[in-house]
């Protein structure tokens, strides 16, 4: 009797979307920012700048995410929670090993002060 095996193939863009959603779920994250890149490198790659970069290396996933945090948040704690949440969500949903999650805090959200006009 022959067993049917099903292979799961997930597009890199789907991993990016999963990582984005998982990062935004963490309290203290106000959003994702664009990766800092030098203009010369951007022109060569012609890829849009994103807040998440996913690399599939030999079947395991490495993720870099660029976040903006709330000004009152504990940056270290938020970054650690983002790492864990991304890893847990992707591994649970796809059964694919996430070997590394790099979190770069690229910005801090500071609300604009409202000025009263007389």
CATH number of the domain at 12-109, out of 3.20.20.70, 3.30.70.1350, 3.30.70.260, 1.10.3720.10? 3.30.70.1350
- Would you list the domain boundaries of the chain? 12-109
pLDDT in tens, 67-118: 999 999 999 999 999 999 999 999 999 988 999 999 999 989 887 776 666 5
pLDDT in tens, 31-75: 998 865 555 544 444 445 579 999 988 878 999 999 999 999 999
- Residues 6 or more apart whose Cβ sits within 8 Å of residue 101: 19, 62, 63, 64, 65, 82, 83, 86, 87
Pull the structure tokens for residue 38.
């030098």
């Amino acid at each position: 009797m022959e067993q049917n095996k099903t292979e799961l193939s997930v597009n890199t863009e789907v991993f990016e979307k999963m990582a984005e959603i998982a990062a935004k779920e963490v309290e203290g994250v106000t959003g994702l920012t664009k990766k800092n890149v030098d203009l010369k490198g951007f022109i060569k790659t012609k890829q849009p700048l994103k807040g998440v970069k996913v690399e599939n290396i030999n079947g395991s996933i490495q993720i870099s995410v660029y976040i903006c945090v709330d000004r009152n948040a504990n940056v270290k704690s938020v970054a650690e929670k983002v790492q864990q949440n991304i890893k847990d969500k992707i591994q649970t949903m796809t059964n694919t090993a996430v070997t590394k999650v790099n979190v770069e805090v690229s910005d801090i959200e500071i609300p604009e002060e409202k000025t009263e006009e007389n």
